[in-house]
């Protein structure tokens, strides 16, 4: 299977890449790991006129600490996240999820920033980014924009990048003291899309009450779905099995799964309810053991 013909550039510096993207406008598309984009091009679902391959730019593959966040560079592969000490120490949710992204071969090449920009509703990372309120760093020739993830994920395969912009980093809040998360993923086999994925995060205040709850869902809507109603309901409450079950019930009625080869919609709703409950239990364990 072959993609439609395209022009290809492999700039050596970020400045060169941003100049190219600025000239190309809507015709330009960034190629990072390519593990979603190339398959889509092969089945004629994406037709970029000009690929700007960023893999030869140095300095984009780092994980760094920045203002209480982990900054994940545009070329950080899923495999690097799975083996990172910084991630293991600072993000219980990402550490739990990274080994379950795609399969080992795809993890060797695919990137978190690429997945975030791709906005596939069946992609795992954006649910986690929504649950943790991550920030997307977008660069263009004109400068830098910090975009809250909730304003970045617009809809089905649609982000809020402007022509000429690219994602250079995603910043994820560190768990810190009293923070913890989990990602629960049901998949038929390794490498398949999630049938259902549930990202849960808790931040506890000194007396053990919930200062902030994060909840977002994969594969059960036209985009990764942040369950704001449940998050607000949980804020200020004392963690309990009943509270988590109530959040699960809200999540199950908020999402809109389809009947498909991975299961009927009512089954997926039931999994959302159960995984939300279990996910918050795990998040609570992570938050209190930190």
Partner 1 sequence: MKINVTVNGTSQENEVEPRLLLVDYLRTVRSLTGTHIGCDTTHCGACTVLVDGIPTKSCTMFAVQADGASITTVEGLKQGGQLHPVQSAFKEHHGLQCGFCTPGMMIVGAALIAENTDPSEDEVRWAISGNICRCTGYVNIVKAIQAAAATTREASRQPVSVG
| Binding residues vs partner 1 (CB under 8 A) | 1-8, 10, 31, 34-35, 38-39, 42-43, 51, 53, 55, 102-106, 108-109, 190-191
Q: Find where tokens 């992609």 sit.
A: 123
Beta-carbon contacts of residue 161 (< 8 Å; ≥ 6 apart)? 117, 138, 152, 167
Question: Among the residues of 160-264, which ranges form H helices?
Answer: 228-234, 241-254
The CB-of-46 to partner 1 minimum distance in angstroms stands at: 12
Closer by beta carbon to partner 1, 1 or else 206: 1
The CB-of-83 to partner 1 minimum distance in angstroms stands at: 11
Strand 50-53 and strand 7-9: pairing?
parallel
Which value, to the nearest 10 degrees, does the dihedral of the CA atoms of residues 234, 236, 239, 241 take?
-40
Strand 210-218 and strand 196-204: pairing?
antiparallel
Closer by beta carbon to partner 1, 2 or else 85: 2
The CB-of-20 to partner 1 minimum distance in angstroms stands at: 14
Closer by beta carbon to partner 1, 39 or else 150: 39
Query: Looking at residue 208, what DSSP letter applies?
Result: S
**Do residues 85 and 96 touch, judged by C-beta distance below 8 A?**
no
The CB-of-247 to partner 1 minimum distance in angstroms stands at: 32
Burial 114-132, CB ≥16 within 10 A → b, else e: bbbbbbbbebbbbbbbbbb
Closer by beta carbon to partner 1, 32 or else 132: 32
Which helix (DSSP H) or strand (DSSP E) does residue 90 occupy?
helix 85-90
The CB-of-81 to partner 1 minimum distance in angstroms stands at: 15
Q: Find where tokens 């909730």 sit.
A: 150
Taking phi over 0 as left and psi of -120 to 50 as alpha, with beta for the rest, 179 belongs to beta
Closer by beta carbon to partner 1, 191 or else 208: 191
Cα–Cα separations (whole angstroms), residue 241 to 138, 237, 272: 39, 12, 15
The CB-of-2 to partner 1 minimum distance in angstroms stands at: 6
Which of 231, 218, 229 has its CA nearest to residue 272?
218
Closer by beta carbon to partner 1, 55 or else 140: 55
Closer by beta carbon to partner 1, 108 or else 281: 108
Q: Find where tokens 């086999």 sit.
A: 189
The CB-of-190 to partner 1 minimum distance in angstroms stands at: 4
What does the block give as tokens for 84? 């990172």
The CB-of-10 to partner 1 minimum distance in angstroms stands at: 7
Closer by beta carbon to partner 1, 10 or else 86: 10
What does the block give as tokens for 217? 């869902």
């Amino acid at each position: 299977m072959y993609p439609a013909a395209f022009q290809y550039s492999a700039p050596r510096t970020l400045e060169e890449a941003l100049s190219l993207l600025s000239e190309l406008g809507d015709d330009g598309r960034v190629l990072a790991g390519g593990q979603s984009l190339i398959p889509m091009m092969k089945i004629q679902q994406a037709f970029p006129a000009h690929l700007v391959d960023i893999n030869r730019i140095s300095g984009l593959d780092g994980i760094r600490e920045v203002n209480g966040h982990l900054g994940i560079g545009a070329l950080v592969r899923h495999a690097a996240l799975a083996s990172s000490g910084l991630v293991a120490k600072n993000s219980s949710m990402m550490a739990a999820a990274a080994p379950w992204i795609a399969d080992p071969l795809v993890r060797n090449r695919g990137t978190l920033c690429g997945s975030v920009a791709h906005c596939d509703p069946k992609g795992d990372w954006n649910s986690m980014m929504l649950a943790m309120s991550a920030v997307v760093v977008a660069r263009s020739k004109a400068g830098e924009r910090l975009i809250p993830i909730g304003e970045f994920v617009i809809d089905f395969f649609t982000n809020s990048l402007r022509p000429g912009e690219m994602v250079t980093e995603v910043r994820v809040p560190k768990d810190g003291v009293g923070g913890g998360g989990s990602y629960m993923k049901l998949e038929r086999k390794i490498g398949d899309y999630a049938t259902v994925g549930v990202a849960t995060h808790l931040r506890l205040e000194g007396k053990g009450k919930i200062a902030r709850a994060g909840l977002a869902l994969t594969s059960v809507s036209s985009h990764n779905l942040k369950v704001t109603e449940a998050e607000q309901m949980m804020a200020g409450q004392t963690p309990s099995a009943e509270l988590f079950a109530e959040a699960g019930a809200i999540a199950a009625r908020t999402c809109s799964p389809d009947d498909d080869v991975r299961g009927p919609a009512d089954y997926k709703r039931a999994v959302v309810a159960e995984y939300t409950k279990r996910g918050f239990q795990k998040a609570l364990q992570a938050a209190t053991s930190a």
